[in-house]
Amino acid sequence: MLSELDTIQLEGLTLLASVGDETALEALRVNFLGKKGRLTAVASQMRDVPPDQKAAVGAKLNEVRTALTAGIEQKLLSLQAEKDAASVQGIDITLPGRPSPSATLHPLSRIRDRAIQTLRRMGFAVAEARRLKRSGTASTL
């Protein structure tokens, strides 16, 4: 049983080194650590191990599982870092930034201007009125 666990660990880490993308990495994880994976199958045989060897086999099983899990997580981080580096490879950070639009009309001003245009096309004229200023209690015209 211990030699089988050593073989699984060696095979898993060897295959892990040759993985090139995330889908293959997930397939490898399922193949070794999934519900029907190789390591899970060996773990289900623990009930057949003699009592004097259970501690050693259990420790080795946990060691293999930890090594494969850590290797998979590290490979995933490495693949994501490669993707991130490839996505920013064509960007020159020394170029100046793109200018943002400086100012725009307020939405109510846009609506007023459009209404004036529409009414002018219909034949109406625009007239402006002045407000009356109040001085004291009496207002003057």
Give residue-wise pLDDT tens across range 67-97.
Answer: 999 999 999 999 999 888 888 888 888 888 8
What number is the average pLDDT over the span 96-123? Answer: 91
Residue 135 banded pLDDT, cuts 50, 70, 90: low
Is 65 buried (19+), middle (13-18) or exposed (0-12) by CB count in 10 A? buried
pLDDT over 70, % of the chain: 94
The answer, as to whether pTM is greater than 0.85, is no
- Quick check: helix, strand or coil at residue 134? strand
